[in-house]
Amino acid sequence: MSITPVNLAVVNLSEALASFDDIYSPRIVTRINDYDVRIAHARGEHVWHVHEDTDEFFLVLDGQFNVAYRDADGQEHTVVLRQGDTFVVPKGIEHKPSSPGGSILMFEPTGTSTTGDRHEGEVPDHVDSTAGHALGDS
């Protein structure tokens, strides 16, 4: 049996967050089976998007993080999350994160795009459409 070294690494989330400044550009801090644990700085508005085949888990590490979502009737609702709060966006639900400033931890399948399987409109310049970057990448 082979053990991947990344799974044995200790990662201090405060230090990891301090190692980069980009917003909405997640860093992968570790992997669990086929899932990434990602951290990101959040500020401003993301883009409306949907993940058709996976739920998306958020944990607010610092600050405030908002998740707007559309229900089955197309009505918009917003959940306001503060430090220590968690929220899961179920698969297939259109959502748009925003934040006055903060940091988050996400848990989602490896390869999941930050802008979903489809998104509405143009992706803002400050939003990185990615499946995550290795911690330490600039």
Q: Percent of the chain scored above 70 by pLDDT?
A: 94
On whether residue 134 sits in a domain, the answer given is no
Q: Considering the domain boundaries, does residue 69 fall inside one?
A: yes
Domain count along the chain: 1
- Residue 103 lies in domain: 7-127
80-95 pLDDT, tens digit each:
999 999 999 999 999 9
Q: How far apart are CA 46 and CA 31, in angstroms?
A: 24
- Residue 133 maps to a domain: no
Q: What is the DSSP letter of 127?
A: S
CATH number of the CATH domain containing 35: 2.60.120.10
State whether residue 65 is helix, strand or coil: strand
Residue 50 pLDDT > 70? yes
Please, which residues bridge with residue 88 across strands? Answer: 57
Instruction: Give the predicted TM-score (pTM) of the model.
Output: 0.89
- Domain for residue 93, yes or no? yes
